[in-house]
Amino acid sequence: MTYQETLDFLFKQLPMYQREGKSAFKKDLTNIIAVCNELGNPEKKIKTVHIAGTNGKGSTAHMLSSIFQEAGYKTGLYTSPHLKDFRERIKINGELISENEVVSFVQNYTPLFAKIQPSFFEWTVALAFHYFEKEKVDVAIIETGLGGRLDSTNIISPELSIITNISLDHVDMLGNTLAEIAAEKAGIIKKGIPVIVGNHSGQRKVFETKSKAYNSPISFVSELQDKENYQSDLKGNYQVENIKTVLYSIQKLKELDWKISDKAIELGLRNVIKNTKLQGRWQVLQVKPKLILDTAHNEDGFSHTMKQLLQEEYQTLHLVIGFVKDKAIDKLLDLLPKPAQYYFCQAQIPRSLDAKELANQAQNKGLIGLTYPTVLEALNAAKKAANKKDVIYVGGSNFVVAEAL
């Protein structure tokens, strides 16, 4: 079995949320528990940090990984979704899991898992746990995929649980209110394990109730004293909030006897991209014209990126935009600037919102532009139209950014 054949097999193991949407969301931990039992429970043999949240969990995970690396720890990192390569989901010290490791795991365990029939997510999480345990990492930073309570990663007993923030997203699966979404994210809180909560969006009581019931020490970042102003190579303004969450998480980890110096924190934050290969967060690909990519795709995230975009200096603003069809985009369109040239497009996945439908909805909001069948055609048109003093922004979904990279 080749690496590509292995990926084809994984992607066919029940619909994958990244491509298909709601139909791939499984509200059950039975399979991942059974799979990990067959593997000898590798998740119980490694030390972990667990991260959930609506926005910022990926950036937070990468920053923590970078800091642990600078502190000299062999650090595993599991995140989702990937942008270009499936192997981005599983790294050790910033190095992607090898193609051979992926192929070998699938070949070896397909017969064993036949009766369980794990989904794409369950295969991937199991692979990550198995790989991290096999390679004897000192710590693994584990990001939830969707929600928390019933996410496939939620079978670990971490050193620390982190909830970055709460805002409305995936309401068709996680709930229509902030309280419902907060309850799903709070599902990663474990008995006796400390938890750090970033922006709780007024849902403090939800987290306090759960932490009290589980006797888990809880800290809210908003109520802690300001830390030293560390700088990061992640340049999105929204990273300020994530950095605070990271700093207080590190403080708690140090109280748990992890040896992390101030120098490791400083270097870790300044070298996130170098150490972890993170992409797609206010990523500047070129400067004349300035080309910015960002994966923000819900109201809270989009609000921050649009504010920062309007602070840029330019003659004309060009926006290459595409969304997924299961996303409520009315409020997102309201956040987009009207004095701009739009290039409406669609990523090459089943979930993509048709570019012409997007253009029609955008026109009702006073946003004018042309439609393109692919992201690259839209981006090339923007590059051709832009002069050196213009700014091009590419975003709307992870898939649009992935195809622009």
Predicted local confidence at residue 96, as pLDDT = 98
Predicted local confidence at residue 175, as pLDDT = 46
- In the chain, DSSP finds a helix count (H) and a strand count (E) of 17, 14
Predicted local confidence at residue 24, as pLDDT = 47
Predicted local confidence at residue 282, as pLDDT = 94
pLDDT tens per residue, range 287-330: 999 999 999 988 888 898 999 999 999 999 999 999 998 778 99
Predicted local confidence at residue 225, as pLDDT = 67
Q: Which residues of the chain have pLDDT under 70?
A: 14-27, 168-176, 201, 225-228
Alpha helices, DSSP H, located in 165-225: 171-174, 178-185, 204-213
Closest CA to 70 of 272, 299, 313, 285: 272
Walk me through the domains of the chain, giving residue ranges and CATH numbers. 3-276 (3.40.1190.10), 283-404 (3.90.190.20)
Predicted local confidence at residue 165, as pLDDT = 85
State the pairing for strand pair 218-220/391-395: unpaired
Predicted local confidence at residue 12, as pLDDT = 86
Q: Using CA atoms, how far apart are residues 124 and 115, in angstroms rounded to an integer?
A: 17
Which run of H or E residues covers position 265? helix 262-270
Predicted local confidence at residue 13, as pLDDT = 80
Q: Residue 40, class by beta-carbon neighbours within 10 Å (0-12 exposed, 13-18 middle, 19+ buried)?
A: exposed
State the pairing for strand pair 317-321/341-344: parallel
pLDDT tens per residue, range 40-70: 999 999 999 999 988 889 999 999 999 999 9
The residues, any chain, with a CB within 8 Å of residue 67's CB and separated by 6 or more, are: 246, 250, 260, 264, 265, 268, 269
Token readout for 188 is 């990663």
Closest CA to 303 of 76, 55, 108: 55
pTM given for the model: 0.92
